[in-house]
Amino acid sequence: MPEYCRVERDGPLFVVTIDRPELMNALHPPASYELEKVFDEFCADPDLWLAIITGAGDRAFCAGNDLKYQAEVGVGSGHAPTGFAGLTARFDNPKPVIAAVNGVAMGGGFEIALACDIIVAADSAVFALPEPRVGLAALAGGIHRLPRQIGLKQAMGMLLTGRRVSAEEGRALGFVNEVVPASDTLPAARRWAEQILECAPLSVRASKEAAMRGLDKSSIEEAMTTRYEGLAAMLKSEDFLEGPRSFAEKRKPNWKGR
């Protein structure tokens, strides 16, 4: 059983809860390695189609790096190869991940959320990349993801000051999808999950792959003419036929993910 997180399987939905509430769910390398294994399981299991990540308690999603642990152990103890929480450097996951941000998301905690596809935030949530204030930098992807998600000037306003941003401002800036009362954070994330699970899983994965990889292309034409493995798999799948068939028969589709 995991020591630093809790996991729940609900059909094709996988819910991961960072479970260090006494430390505002701050992560040290052992926790990141554990979460790496958890998300390895999620990515490898064909019966799991979507994940939600959240934090235990009502104070924090994740307060970032466990600096006290780092000070005690030293700089040499790094996080998992797939990044902070096993997510921030995981670039080959085609399955969607939703962040249910139930409180503080600072530093690496914010970077976990930025690495997810959708962010649902409690109205009490606070976001920041305060690393420059302690002589560090947001090197778990925040420096690069934030400008791509909200534009350069708005991102620099956060990156260079380390200032704190409320959930509502995060929604206005564009990195938060929905703001809800704190008690509704996980239920709201589940509602988003239910909508995604109504769609064909291979179509969802193909859409994510094409959208993310397409950002690296120099033009819309290049993005559209690039070959994507997920799209090829979708076109060859049983679900590619099931969708039109279920529509014609006026019934809900029976997606199989293959």
Over its length of 258 residues, how does the chain's per-residue pLDDT go in tens digits?
789 999 999 999 999 999 999 999 999 999 999 999 999 999 999 999 999 999 999 999 999 999 888 878 765 557 899 999 999 999 999 999 999 999 999 999 999 999 999 999 999 999 999 999 988 899 999 999 999 999 999 999 999 999 999 999 999 999 999 999 999 999 999 999 999 999 999 999 999 999 999 999 999 999 999 999 999 999 999 999 999 999 999 999 999 998
Active-site residue flag, 36: no
User: Which residue among 8, 131, 178, 194 is the active-site one?
Assistant: 131
pLDDT at 76: 53
Question: Which H helix or E strand runs over 133?
Answer: none
Range list of H helices, 79-200: 108-115, 142-150, 152-159, 167-173, 185-197
* Chain-centroid distance, C-alpha 154: 21
CA atoms within 13 A on the CB side of 23: 17
- Candidates 128, 117, 216, 222; CA nearest to 167 is 128
Paired with 8 in beta bridges are 15
The sign of the torsion formed by the CA atoms of 16, 20, 24, 26 equals negative
pLDDT at 82: 96
Active-site residue flag, 168: no
- Candidates 114, 142, 106, 120; CA nearest to 26 is 106
DSSP readout, 141-170? THHHHHHHHH-HHHHHHHHTT---EEHHHH
pLDDT at 5: 98
pTM listed for this prediction = 0.95
Burial 76-102 (b: 16+ CB within 10 A, else e): eeebbebbbbbbbbbeebbbbbbbbbb
User: Which residue among 111, 178, 194, 209 is the active-site one?
Assistant: 111
pLDDT at 75: 59
- Pairing of the two strands 165-166 and 126-128: antiparallel
- 74: exposed, middle or buried (Cβ count in 10 Å: 0-12, 13-18, 19+): exposed
**What fold does the segment set 5-197 form as a domain?**
2-enoyl-CoA Hydratase; Chain A, domain 1 (3.90.226)
61 close to 85: Cβ distance less than 8 angstroms: no
